[in-house]
Each structure stands twice: as structure tokens, then as C-alpha cells.
Structure 1
Amino acid sequence: MPTEEKKLNVLLVEDEPTLMQVVGESIAQLGHKVTHRADGLEDALARAAEGGFDVAMLDVNLNGADSFAVADVLIARGIPFVFTTGFGSNHLPERFRGSPLMEKPFRLRDIGQVLSRMAESV
């Protein structure tokens, strides 16, 4: 009998409103829930510190500021995350080179695959 995949509560960090909406709808379509949203660095840091979610999707560039400090908070709290970017992995600092990364544009299938992998670690 197959085991049902864990349904995740997701922190979605994205500075582009349209993309925030589309990705949020995609996450819901996959059976997960966006419980926290942030569109800027300060808001994302506050959300990461307060918790209440299982995993996070972090846009690397938030209105010109990078989200690496948010990733540091998530690592310290043991919360899995994936970076999303249109710049490729070369934009990541060395300490994050092995971190999960989705390059924009991505599809529903890509989101589903990365959430499935993260579900295994929560």
C-alpha cells in the first residue's frame, strides 16, 4: 500500500506579486498550503524567525537584497528550503552551492518534485 505524501505548510518568499500568486496556486494545486508569505527581506526574516511552517521557497533576489540571511535562519532552525532564482547557481555564495535550487521559469512539475523531496526530511 503506497504511503500518502505529507502535506506541507510552506513559507513563500517572492517579491514579484504575480509570481507569488501563481506559485501559491501551484502549491495549493499540489495539495500543500502556503501558510506564510513574504515579499521583502525584513518580512521574510521575521517570518523565518517566528516559524509555523514546514518548508520554505526563497526567491534569491528580493527587490535588490539577497535572501541568504533568511536561509541562514532556516538552517539554524532545521527547516528545509529551496532557492528560486532566474540567475542560476553561480549567483549563490559558496556556503549555499549544495542547496536545493529551482531556476525560473519553473513548472508545476518542478515545484511538485522539490516539495516531495523536502517532505521526506520533515
Structure 2
Amino acid sequence: MGDKPNILLVEDDFLIAYDMKLQLEEAAFVVVWTVSSAEDALALLEDTSVCAAVLDMDLGGVSSFPIAHRLNEMRIPFLFVSGNDGGELHGDLAGSPIMTKPVNYPRLISVLRGLLGAQGT
């Protein structure tokens, strides 16, 4: 059996998180953790190995940018999912992939596979 990529999913809306997890698992990803806060995500990154992450940009009024900065430091690819555009991305986050809600799952899966392929395992 081939290894399936481990994905960290950070989404504060339970129904969106549940649906996204199902879609990712159907596409042969393993969602190792689904968390709804930046604190939980940052703690998990210290103890859990993940291949990539999907981040809701706005976690109940709190930005997921600290998670994205940490992922960049760890050289773990990620993409944002947001109801907003990427105009607020600056510095090392500028140019990060962004999917708008409602999520186009075939495109999300394609972008995620592209990020993992570019990582060069």
C-alpha cells in the first residue's frame, strides 16, 4: 500500500470541516486532525507530522496567519480557504494559494496534490 498524505485541517465551522474531511478522504488523503483554533493547530504541529494543511483564513474572528507562518518555517505546504479574497496576504504569505467558499472540491484536491508534488517528498 502506498502512503497517503497526512493533512491538517483547520476550520471553525463544523459542517464545512466535516464535509471537507469527507471530500479529502475520498481523494485518498488522510485528515489526521481537524481543529478549530490557531492554538490547537500550533500545538499539534509541534507533536504531529503532517504533509500539508488546509487553513480557514478566519477562525471565529481570529486569523490563521500564525499557523501559516509556522508552516512556512517548517516547510510544510498549505492553502487557505476563505470567504474573503487574498488582498490581506503580505510578506511570506503573499501568493499563498486561496480557495474561496463555497469550496470547489475538485479544484481544492488538485491544488493540494500540486502543493504536495512541488514539495518533492
After TM superposition, the score normalised by the length of structure 1 is 0.88
Show the counterpart of 1:71.
Answer: 68
Q: Counterparts of 1:50 and 1:93 in 2: how far apart (Å)?
A: 28
Q: 1:113 aligns with which of 95, 99, 110?
A: 110
Contact kept, 8 Å, 2:56 with 2:64, in 1: the verdict is yes
Aligned pair in 2 of structure 1 residues 86, 66: CA closer, same or farther (>3 Å)?
same
Structure 2 gap ranges (5+): none
SS of alignment partner, residue 28 of structure 2: coil
Contact kept, 8 Å, 1:6 with 1:119, in 2: the verdict is no
Q: 2:49 aligns with which of 31, 47, 52?
A: 52
SS of alignment partner, residue 32 of structure 2: strand
Contact kept, 8 Å, 2:35 with 2:41, in 1: the verdict is yes
Q: Counterparts of 1:97 and 1:27 in 2: how far apart (Å)?
A: 25
Show the counterpart of 2:82.
Answer: 85
Q: Counterparts of 1:95 and 1:32 in 2: how far apart (Å)?
A: 26
Show the counterpart of 1:32.
Answer: 29
- The Cα shift of 1:6 comes to 6.5
Amino acid at match of 1:87: N
Structure 1 segments (4+ residues) deviating >6 Å: none
Show the counterpart of 1:7.
Answer: 4
Aligned length: 118
- The Cα shift of 1:18 comes to 0.2
Contact kept, 8 Å, 1:38 with 1:47, in 2: the verdict is no
Show the counterpart of 1:41.
Answer: 38
Show the counterpart of 2:19.
Answer: 22
- Once the two structures are overlaid, the 10-residue window that deviates more, 56-65 or 112-121, is 112-121
Percent identity of equivalent pairs: 31
Q: Any idea what the Cα deviations from partners look like across 1:67-96, whole Å, max 9, x if unmatched?
A: 111111111111111011110111323431
Amino acid at match of 2:77: P
- Once the two structures are overlaid, the 10-residue window that deviates more, 62-71 or 93-102, is 93-102
Contact kept, 8 Å, 2:81 with 2:99, in 1: the verdict is yes
